[in-house]
């Protein structure tokens, strides 16, 4: 089969590589991809929002399956567009993608179907939001209602910070239209993990779980980012918690989406926090997580292409995972997640050993070198039989090079280790 992957980040690089390593897949294209993916796929210079050009490409090249990486094209209806032309694509429709694109939609669904999540209120008026914050007190969590690249959440530890955040989001439209409405919710405490599942026509295939590190700096300090590193498995979370998450969150959510007339197909990502009252939903995404995908997908030992075909045809499939531990560290441009300095030259890391993998997120090739071309630039992972070893290997490999112009966290995996 011939596959087209939509997107250009590290997550898409992991999807591309998994298809490339899949015996049933003959050719992998990626639109638009990035220079660092050229070894693994044919990059096609089409933007992920140019649906008409993408479908023309799919027709011309007889692509069998299109796999969507990022949230934006999903929220703008890429799946509806492809399906109207009878093309096979994996992802949620525009209506179902609201589970990520509108926090209010997700919250209302959870409340209606008793899916455990933080208590909340929604606001479009700054003064009402401020009154609510004063009534509830800090810590409290402020979230832009719409998409904000993982940066639209402020966990305010003080009243001042909470009030400043709503002024910034609603008043100054910090995230444009996405933050003209905010969700203000109860602060929850506990261990977080990412639970992703393949979903189609009521079938649910859970993946192995992972843990992301959302804060920019060591010790989980600094601003929230798209994610600075991840690892899988999460050995300090028992199997019973994973089962409970499936029973109380994943299954009821898939059923609720169908009951509401917006059946979900694609990757359902549940960001979960294990509170004293059990697992609760922090957020839903309608796509693979980044950087979680880079540490989860390589653990799949089944043929990815074959699995996707079985899933879309409604045929039972035994989806298999390895016991490997994978830990990945993001190399980000200096200044991320604020003002990013692009153009720093990356070292030549071609001599990494075979258990180390590099996923390109924001790189560009200039005169035979890769340079930083975004906030998150690459993710470096190591695979081993234990997380401890994977962690030691990845940091030992990174220590061999000069990362001037970039930074990375030195404590990925600390909660497990």
Query: Measured from the CB of residue 207, what is the shortest distance to ligand GLY in angstroms?
Result: 14
| Beta carbons of 359 and 13 less than 8 angstroms apart | yes
Whether 75 and 16 have beta carbons less than 8 Å apart is answered as no
Tokens of 192: 């977080």
- Residue 12 contacts ligand GLY per CB under 6 A: no
State how far the Cα of 93 lies from the Cα of 264, in Å rounded to an integer.
8
Residue 292 near which of ligand GLY, ligand AMP, none (CB within 5-8 Å, type-dependent)? ligand GLY
Q: Which is nearer to ligand GLY, 109 or 230 (CB)?
A: 230
Q: Is 150 in the site for ligand AMP (CB under 6 A)?
A: yes
Query: Which of residues 163 and 346 has its CB atom nearest to ligand AMP in the complex?
Result: 163
Give, as ranges, the residues between 168 and 187 that touch ligand AMP (CB under 6 A): 185-187
What does the DSSP assignment read for 172-208?
S-TTGGGGSSEEEEE---SEEEEEEEEEETTEEEEPP
The smaller minimum CB distance to ligand GLY, of residues 14 and 129, is found at 14
Candidate residues 31, 75, 153, 257; the one interacting with ligand AMP per rule CB under 6 A: 153
Q: Give the binding range for ligand AMP (CB under 6 A) out of 127-135, 149-157, 257-265, 305-313.
A: 149-157
CB-based contacts of 88, cutoff 8 Å, min separation 6: 64, 65, 66, 82, 312
3-class DSSP state of 370: strand
Q: Does 214 bind ligand AMP (CB under 6 A)?
A: yes
Question: Should residue 192 be labelled a site residue for ligand AMP when binding is judged by CB under 6 A?
Answer: yes
- Kindly state whether residue 225 participates in binding ligand GLY, applying the rule CB under 6 A: no
CB 393 within 8 A of CB 356: yes
Q: Which does 289 bind (CB under 5 to 8 A by kind): ligand AMP, ligand GLY, none?
A: ligand GLY
| Residue 75 φ/ψ, nearest 5 degrees | -65, -25
* Member of 192, 292, 303, 391 binding ligand GLY (CB under 6 A): 292
Q: Is the peptide bond before 83 cis (omega within 30 degrees of 0)?
A: no
Among 92, 101, 150, 279, binds ligand GLY (CB under 6 A): 150
Per-residue interface string for the shown chain with ligand GLY, residues 239-278, x marking contact by CB under 6 A: ----------------------------------------
Helix 251-259 with 103-112: angle, nearest 10 deg: 100
Residue 100 token pair: 């990520």
Phi-psi region of 287 (alpha: psi -120 to 50; beta: other; left: phi over 0): beta
Can you tell me which of 282, 300, 327, 358 binds ligand AMP, judged by CB under 6 A?
Answer: 282
Nearer to ligand GLY, 286 or 311 (CB): 286
Residue whose beta carbon is closest to ligand AMP:
283
CB 119 within 8 A of CB 309: no
Give the shortest CB-212-to-ligand GLY separation in angstroms.
Answer: 4
Q: Are 86 and 25 in contact (CB under 8 A)?
A: no
| CB-based contact 191:237 (threshold 8 Å) | yes
Comparing CA positions, the residue from 12, 31, 283, 270 lying closest to residue 150 is: 283
Interface pick for ligand AMP out of 271, 279, 291, 328 (rule CB under 6 A): 271
Q: Which does 390 bind (CB under 5 to 8 A by kind): ligand AMP, ligand GLY, none?
A: none
Spatial separation of the C-alpha atoms in residues 142 and 133, rounded to whole Å = 10
- Give the residue with the Cβ less far from ligand AMP, 148 or 417: 148
CA dist 243 → 132, 247, 310 (Å): 36, 6, 24
The binder of ligand AMP chosen from 188, 207, 332, 371 (CB under 6 A): 188
Per CB under 6 A, the list member of 289, 305, 337, 413 interacting with ligand GLY is 289
Among 156-164, 285-293, 339-347, 394-402, which window interacts with ligand GLY (CB under 6 A)? 285-293
Strands 65-68 and 2-7: parallel
In the complex, the residues that contact ligand GLY under the rule CB under 6 A are 150, 212, 226-227, 285, 289-290, 292
In the complex, the residues that contact ligand AMP under the rule CB under 6 A are 118, 141, 150, 153, 155, 185-188, 192, 214, 224, 271, 282-283
């Amino acid at each position: 089969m011939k596959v087209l992957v939509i997107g250009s980040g590290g997550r898409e690089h992991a999807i591309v590589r998994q298809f490339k390593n899949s015996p049933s897949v003959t050719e992998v294209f990626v639109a638009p991809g990035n220079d660092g993916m050229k070894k693994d796929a044919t990059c096609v210079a089409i933007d992920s929002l140019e649906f008409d050009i993408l479908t023309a490409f799919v027709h011309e090249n007889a692509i069998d399956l299109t796999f969507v990486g990022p949230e934006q094209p999903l929220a703008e209806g890429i799946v509806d567009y492809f399906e109207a032309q009878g093309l096979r694509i994996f992802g949620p429709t525009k209506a179902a993608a609201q589970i990520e694109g509108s926090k209010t939609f997700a919250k209302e669904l959870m409340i209606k179907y008793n899916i455990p999540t933080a208590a909340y209120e929604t606001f479009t008026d700054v003064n009402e939001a401020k009154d609510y914050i004063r009534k509830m007190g800090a810590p409290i969590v402020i979230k832009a209602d719409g998409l904000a690249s993982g940066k639209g959440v402020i966990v305010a530890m003080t009243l001042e910070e909470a009030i400043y955040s709503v002024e910034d989001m609603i008043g100054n439209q910090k995230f444009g239209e996405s933050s003209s409405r905010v969700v203000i919710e109860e602060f929850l405490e506990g261990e977080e993990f990412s639970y992703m599942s393949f979903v189609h026509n009521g079938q649910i295939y859970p993946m192995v779980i992972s843990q992301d590190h959302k804060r920019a700096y060591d010790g989980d300090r600094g601003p929230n980012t798209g994610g600075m590193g991840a690892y899988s498995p999460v050995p300090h979370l028992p199997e019973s918690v994973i089962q409970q998450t499936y029973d109380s969150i994943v299954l009821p959510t898939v059923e609720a989406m169908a009951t509401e007339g917006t059946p979900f197909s694609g990757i359902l990502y549940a960001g979960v926090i294990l509170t004293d009252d059990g697992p609760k939903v922090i957020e839903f995404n309608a796509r693979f997580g980044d950087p979680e995908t880079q540490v989860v997908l390589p653990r799949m030992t089944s043929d990815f292409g074959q699995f996707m075909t079985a899933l879309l045809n409604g045929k039972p499939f035994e989806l298999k995972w390895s016991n490997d531990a994978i830990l990945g560290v993001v190399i980000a441009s200096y200044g991320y997640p604020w003002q990013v300095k692009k153009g720093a030259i990356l070292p030549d890391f071609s001599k990494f050993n075979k258990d180390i993998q590099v996923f390109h997120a924001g790189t560009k090739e200039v005169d035979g070198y890769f340079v930083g071309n975004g906030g998150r630039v690459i993710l470096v992972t190591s695979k081993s039989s234990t997380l401890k070893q994977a962690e030691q290997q990845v940091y030992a490999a990174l220590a061999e090079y000069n990362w001037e112009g970039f930074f990375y966290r030195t404590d990925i995996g600390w909660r497990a280790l």
